[in-house]
Amino acid sequence: MKRATLVVALFGASFVAAAPGSPAPTAPVPRPARLLRTLAHDPGGYNPERTSVVTDLLLGDFLFHSPSTLGPKAQKLGISCNTCHPNGATDPRFVLPGDRPTHPGSVDVTTGMFRSEAENGRVDPVNIPSLRGLRFTGPYGHDGRMASLHDFSQSVVVNEFGGAPLPWNELSALVHYLNDFDFLPNGKLDEKSRINAAAGKAAARGEALFEKPRKGFGGQSCASCHVPSRFFRDGAIHRLPVGDGASKHGFEDGFETPTLLGTLESAPYFHDGRFAALGDVVAWFDTAYALGLTPSERADLTAYLEAVGAADSPLDQRPLAQALDATFVYLELLASGSVKDDRRVWAAVSALCVEALDGAPRRPDLEERRLRDRKRLTDLDEKARAATTLDALREEPKELHRELTRYGADLQGAIAAERR
Ligand code: HEC
Ligand code: HEC
């Protein structure tokens, strides 16, 4: 087994925590890479003992991963923000269980499934967007209906999932975290977002075609809307002849120019995911705007889009222990800061840690320890529910975090030893 497969095994686990004796997860699903600017600049980050900023980010990280954030119905289904936006990217396989059939990777956000008032009586799924580079890509929603990430996030929780409004400190922590998602590095672009030699000749020819003014666009070019120096978007809403009455909730009857970065992992394309491949998009523009491209120009333009949308390391390659600790570290929240007495957070942190333990690979010689740690987590949850004050419990999560960190390291070591 190669390391990449091992690492992602953890994330391929089912969303609902398995029973203690249940078999370890099989068939790993590759997950997209995780790139947070705070952790990239400070790999030791998320140490709550250091600064309140870090605690805030950790809280946001937890809220993003916890189904409890979205209210009881999502919690029952085990759906969190991270389910649809894994590591800030998008899950092209996601289908909302039990909802009207839509194609994978899209969701009908106006379904009555979570909140009956949200139902608009139509099947109108929209494509799940990537959240990478979110701080540069406002306004939000495919139709650009909201300028504020705070408003958008609160609306996801309340209007779409029927959850309770997040208190201000939680909303602000969540937005803080969302603003931390970065675009993945792409060695085919230079610092001015221009194609370099690594992208190849076809892409270089495609770049010139992308920038060429065209009659069909009223003298503009692809680059007028997808401005390379502005992350290949313009922050504006346009009415393309997409022919479906455009948006249901936007102020303007159109869609916002999406970034062209990261398209490698964000297929299918357009607000409704109607195009499976970048070549289909090029063909559509050519026809819809009578651009008159030759077959080889279409191919060059597609090669350019593929180079712009590429990523050097698209998959989550974190060593197992580090990936596990990204969840176990939530225990630190229980001992610190503003969530001190929030029992919902206590319960949700225990649940996420149990899920991570169950979802990780198993080793017979570590099984007793896994079950003991698991029991300590569920006991902690029970104690927190029963206690009148949580003060006496504060040391326990810290100690448990240390133990789980050791467990993760030992598990990784045992797997490495087995392969030698
Ligand atoms: C069931 C899948 C699903 C879940 C769960 C989900 N989202 Fe989304 N998200 C979507 C879809 C679909 C859209 C596109 C919505 C639209 O354009 O109207 C979207 C759009 C967004 C956007 C706008 C991105 C942009 O560039 O326009 C943000 C921000 C966002 N989601 C954040 C969140 C947060 C935060 C959570 C958890 C509180 C969350 N999402 C949970 C599916 C989901
Ligand atoms: C008038 C502004 C405008 C021009 C000119 C334009 N685009 Fe776009 N582009 C958009 C908008 C708006 C969308 C989103 C459409 C939707 O979601 O329905 C889009 C979507 C796309 C997408 C899909 C991205 C995704 O993640 O879904 C690609 C690829 C793309 N354009 C490439 C091009 C190319 C290549 C050209 C030139 C041939 C071009 N665009 C010209 C505004 C423009």
Quick: pLDDT tens for 326-351: 999 999 888 775 565 688 899 999 99
Average pLDDT of the segment spanning 311-323: 94
d(CA 1, CA 406): 23
Distance, CA 218 to ligand 2 centroid (Å)?
Answer: 15
**Shortest-distance atom of ligand 1 to CA 143:** 17
Distance, CA 128 to ligand 1 centroid (Å)?
Answer: 7
Distance of CA 116 to the CA centre of its chain: 26
Q: Has residue 17 got a pLDDT over 60?
A: no
Residue 341 main-chain phi, psi, to 5 deg: -110, 15
Tens of pLDDT, residues 161-172? 999 999 999 999
3-state secondary structure of 340: coil
Q: Percentage of residues in the chain with pLDDT exceeding 70?
A: 86
Position 252, amino acid: E
Grade residue 48 by pLDDT with cuts at 50, 70 and 90. Answer: low
Distance of CA 294 to the CA centre of its chain: 37
Distance, CA 264 to ligand 1 centroid (Å)?
Answer: 19
- The count of other CB atoms within 10 Å of the CB of residue 383 is 14
Identify which ligand lies nearest to the alpha carbon of 305.
Answer: 2
Q: Has residue 3 got a pLDDT over 60?
A: no
Name all contacts of 119-124 with Cβ < 8 Å and 24+ positions apart: 120/248, 124/248, 124/272
Tens of pLDDT, residues 202-235? 999 999 999 999 999 999 999 999 999 999 999 9
In terms of Cβ atoms closer than 10 Å to its own Cβ (0-12, 13-18, 19+), residue 97 is exposed
Asked whether 408 and 359 are in contact (CB, 8 A), the reply is: no
**Structure tokens given for 132:** 């990478």
Is pLDDT larger for residue 11 or for residue 117?
117
Q: What is the CA radius of gyration of the chain?
A: 23
Cis-peptide into 139, omega within 30 deg: yes
* Domains of the chain, earliest start first: 1-31+315-324+334-420 (no CATH), 47-182 (1.10.760.10), 197-243+255-308 (1.10.760.10)
Give the pTM. 0.92
Residue 192 main-chain phi, psi, to 5 deg: -100, 15
**Shortest-distance atom of ligand 1 to CA 109:** 12
d(CA 239, CA 84): 27
Distance, CA 373 to ligand 1 centroid (Å)?
Answer: 34
Distance, CA 259 to ligand 2 centroid (Å)?
Answer: 9
Q: What's the sign of the alpha-carbon dihedral 134, 136, 139, 143?
A: negative
Distance, CA 369 to ligand 1 centroid (Å)?
Answer: 38
Average pLDDT of the segment spanning 97-125: 77
Grade residue 110 by pLDDT with cuts at 50, 70 and 90. Answer: confident
- The binding-site residues of ligand 1, defined as CB within 6 angstroms of any ligand atom, are 69-70, 79, 81, 83-85, 96, 107, 109, 126, 128-129, 131, 134, 137, 140-142, 149, 152-153, 156-157, 174, 178
Q: Has residue 13 got a pLDDT over 60?
A: no
pLDDT at 187: 98
Asked whether 230 and 333 are in contact (CB, 8 A), the reply is: no
* Strands (DSSP E) found in 155-310: 237-238, 255-256
Half-sphere exposure of 67 (CA within 13 A, CB side): 17
Q: Has residue 392 got a pLDDT over 50?
A: yes
Asked whether 333 and 55 are in contact (CB, 8 A), the reply is: yes
3-state secondary structure of 112: coil
Half-sphere exposure of 115 (CA within 13 A, CB side): 17
Average pLDDT, the chain: 87
* Strands (DSSP E) found in 72-214: 106-107, 126-127
Question: What length is written for the chain?
Answer: 420
**Structure tokens given for 27:** 């068939």
- The binding-site residues of ligand 2, defined as CB within 6 angstroms of any ligand atom, are 142, 217, 220, 222, 224-226, 238, 240, 242, 255, 257-258, 260, 263, 266, 269-271, 278, 281-282, 285, 301, 305
pLDDT at 366: 97
d(CA 82, CA 248): 25
Q: Has residue 319 got a pLDDT over 90?
A: yes
Tens of pLDDT, residues 235-276? 999 989 886 554 454 555 789 999 999 999 999 999 989 999
